Amino acid sequence: MRYAFFITIFLLLQLFSAGTALSLQWWLAPWFSVMPISIAWIGVFTVTNGLLLLSVKRVFANSYRWISGWMLVMHFMLLTAFFTSLLYGGYWLAMSWVDMPLNESSVMDVVLRMLALAIFAGLFVYALYSAYVPVTRKLSINIDKPLAKPLRIAVASDLHIGRLFGSGAIDRLSRMMTNSEADILLMPGDIMDDNTEAFSDYDMQKNLAELCGSVPYGVYATLGNHDLYGHEQPISHALRDAGVQLLNDEAVCIEHAGQSIWIVGRFDNHKRQRVATTELLADIDTALPVLLLDHRPSDIVEHSQLPIDLQVSGHTHNGQVFPANSIVNAINRLGYGYEAIGKGHFVVSSGYGFWGIPFRLGSRSEIWLITVSGQND
């Protein structure tokens, strides 16, 4: 299975490279007509496979970011070629309808290529904006359990705190919590980007502590797969030292307007020894409101039959870059967004941060603000 995955990735990269070489060859044609066609092809395939080799061999730290970044460049080149073709096709049809001759001059060649450059740059700017400028998704739900006063829950999953997403993002989240007047913040996994190196180097503990202090009932979190890749203990200590109440296969009861509410947090399924949800629920009073943090949305169908009122998840990033959105939704019952299923309400966030490279296309960095009302409202 592992070899099949790597072979698939390798073949996809070669396909992307061929498309990129063709696009680059077309774009450079008016200015480098004397340049051999092979130059574009050799250059693109050399960069692709060189970066792939460096990434596989892990020659330097975070080498996967370089191959990811190059894949994004190639992807945007292909999208640029597609959009430019559509626009040129529209121009061709318009000229045909009004019975005017097509302008095949060198001026049109330059115009098309300048348009392609603008589309390419626009994709990068928009993707960068979508990664670093989060939105707030608002949702109101009603549960079939006593709740004397509505509870305002903020959800920020997949922060991936690291060198590319650090203290500024944490401070912005603090401001968002204050402005939203949230009672509590839930962070369902992937808090750190694999380790605590950047968190420590840039002294982000004070920023995270201020975030925890900005929310009346505090911040509750559970660990995701990226928090468990060999640095579980340092990450857990860093979060707890900053004031985050970490729930690793644990449940805690909080008071809200004299009403008890249970918050349950699960390990990500990367942790093979994690406790089953049914075991966690067996130790609490499920007649009271139950909130579940589960990093991956993979168990939503099973959880929809349990006395869970609200589950918040992340992990999918809503694909992060189009067209991965369709893959995410194809392999998950709920790959992104909100749905009431069975006995509960389920929210899967695209994440407050991002993975790998700071770009999003077809998805957006976000937090959710969920107002939960009960029978006694």
Whole-number Å distance between alpha carbons of 370 and 340: 13
| Residue 158: DSSP 8-state | -
- Same domain for 296 and 366? yes
- Same domain for 245 and 369? yes
pLDDT, residue 112, reads: 83
- Domain termination residue (choose one: 77, 105, 130): 130
- Same domain for 124 and 207? no
- Same domain for 143 and 286? yes
Question: What are the DSSP calls for 32-99, one per residue?
Answer: -TTS-THHHHHHHHHHHHHHHHHHHHT-STTHHHHHHHHHHHHHHHHHHHHHHHHHHHHHHHHHHHTT
pLDDT tens, position by position, 12-51: 889 989 999 888 888 877 766 655 667 888 889 999 998 8
pLDDT, residue 91, reads: 60
Q: How confident is the model at residue 372 (pLDDT cuts 50, 70, 90)?
A: very high
Domain extent, residue 277, equals 134-373
Give me 79's structure tokens: 């999208």
Phi and psi of 212, rounded to 5°?
A: -60, -35
Whole-number Å distance between alpha carbons of 315 and 146: 31
Q: Summarize the confidence of residues 124-146 as an average pLDDT.
A: 96
Q: How confident is the model at residue 94 (pLDDT cuts 50, 70, 90)?
A: low
Q: How confident is the model at residue 182 (pLDDT cuts 50, 70, 90)?
A: very high
- Same domain for 81 and 215? no
Question: The domain that contains 265 carries what CATH number?
Answer: 3.60.21.10
Whole-number Å distance between alpha carbons of 75 and 361: 11
**Residue 224 to residues 28, 190, 299, 316, Cα–Cα distance (Å):** 45, 4, 14, 11
Q: Is the pLDDT of residue 106 over 80?
A: no
Asked whether 223 and 189 are in contact (CB, 8 A), the reply is: yes
Out of 54-63, 162-171, 248-257, pick the least confident.
54-63
pLDDT, residue 105, reads: 57
- Same domain for 176 and 274? yes
pLDDT, residue 282, reads: 93
**Average pLDDT in the chain:** 90
Q: How confident is the model at residue 92 (pLDDT cuts 50, 70, 90)?
A: low
- Domain termination residue (choose one: 130, 149, 171): 130
| Residue 161: DSSP 8-state | B
- Same domain for 369 and 243? yes
pLDDT, residue 35, reads: 56
- Domain termination residue (choose one: 130, 153, 186): 130
- Same domain for 328 and 289? yes
Q: How confident is the model at residue 109 (pLDDT cuts 50, 70, 90)?
A: confident
Q: What angle do CA 74, 26, 52 make, to 5 degrees?
A: 25
Query: What's the domain count of the chain?
Result: 2
Per-residue three-class SS string for 101-136: CCCCCHHHHHHHHHHHHHHHHHHHHHHHHHHHCCEE
**Three-state DSSP class for residue 280:** helix
Give me 216's structure tokens: 């009346």
